[in-house]
Amino acid sequence: MARMKFLCDADRCIECNACVTACKNEHEVPWGINRRRVVTLNDGKPGERSVSMACMHCTDAPCAAVCPVNCFYTTADAVVLHSKDLCIGCGYCFYACPFGAPQYPKVGNFGSRGKMDKCTFCAGGPEADNSKEEFEKYGANRLAEGKLPLCAEMCSTKSLLAGDSDVIAQIYKERVSKRGYGSGAWGWQTAYKETIAT
């Protein structure tokens, strides 16, 4: 099976936010929840750089490790998913996540959190593939249809790559060798304890 990963080529990201919009629209993500976002470092200064970030579907995912009710599971494609039926909204996965991926709808008063929501790598949840229940809880299941995540598919500069680790790493390496520079696969060392030499 594939080992699905995201790779943001930060030398190409132009902060157009198409990935963010595509994600929100494809999964009908509610207001206040962002499964993906683009952050600009050194904004407006020399050396500015933008990176698109979402759940990185870590190896030995910290969220899954700290979850008190064990609501996470990893698919055969190494995508980290969770069950909203089991989630109790404790917020621990956010404390453990190195990428700030888990999101919580605000329900009731104070800081009370609803069921956690995060990027599914467009792979839905535990319900039957592309069922109504699955869509309502987790959004579209593009992987089950043989499609890759929409954020990467829509990326106007092909900065954001999504797919099997070996394939996207190869694409990135070829780019780097052709253009002569690259800033590395952002987040890979933290998420997978491996990186792509540039």
Partner 1 sequence: MSKLVAHMRLIAGALALAFMVAISAPVSAQQPSSVNPTADAVKEQQLLQQLKAIQGRGTIPDVKSYTIEHPAGREWQQFHNVTLRWIGGIAILGMLALLLIFYLWRGMVMIKSGRSGRKIVRFNAFERFVHWMTATCFIILAISGLNITFGRPLFAATVGSEAFTTWSEWAKYAHNYLSFPFTIGVVLIFLMWIGGNIPNSIDVEWFKRGGGIVGDDHPPAYRFNGGQKAIYWIVVLGGAGVAITGYVLMFPFYGTGIDSMQYAQMIHAVVAMLFVAAMLGHIYIGTIGMEGAFEAMGEGTVDINWAKEHHSLWLEDEMGRNPKGARAQPAE
- Chain positions contacting partner 1, by CB under 8 A: 10-11, 17, 20, 32, 34, 37-43, 46-51, 53, 62, 65-71, 83, 85-92, 94-100, 110-113, 179-181, 183-184, 186-187, 189-190
Cβ distance to partner 1 smaller for residue 2 or 195? 195
Tell me how far, at minimum, the Cβ of 57 lies from partner 1, in Å: 15
Cα 93 from chain centre: 14
CA–CA distance, 84 with 22 (Å, rounded to integer)? 23
List Cα–Cα distances, 107 to 23, 25, 128, 134, in angstroms.
22, 22, 27, 21
Beta-bridge partners for 73: 81
Shortest gap between Cβ of 155 and partner 1 (angstroms)? 16
How far is C-alpha 181 from the chain's CA centre?
Answer: 25
Q: Which is nearer to partner 1, 92 or 172 (CB)?
A: 92
Q: C-alpha distances in angstroms, 166 versus 57, 135, 157, 161?
A: 15, 29, 21, 12
Q: What is the nearest approach in angstroms of partner 1 to the Cβ of residue 164?
A: 22
* C-alpha closest to that of 82 among 94, 73, 91, 90: 73
Of the pair 117, 142, the CB lying nearest partner 1 is at 117
Residue 21 C-beta: closest distance to partner 1, Å: 11
Q: Is the CB of 104 or the CB of 138 nearer to partner 1?
A: 104
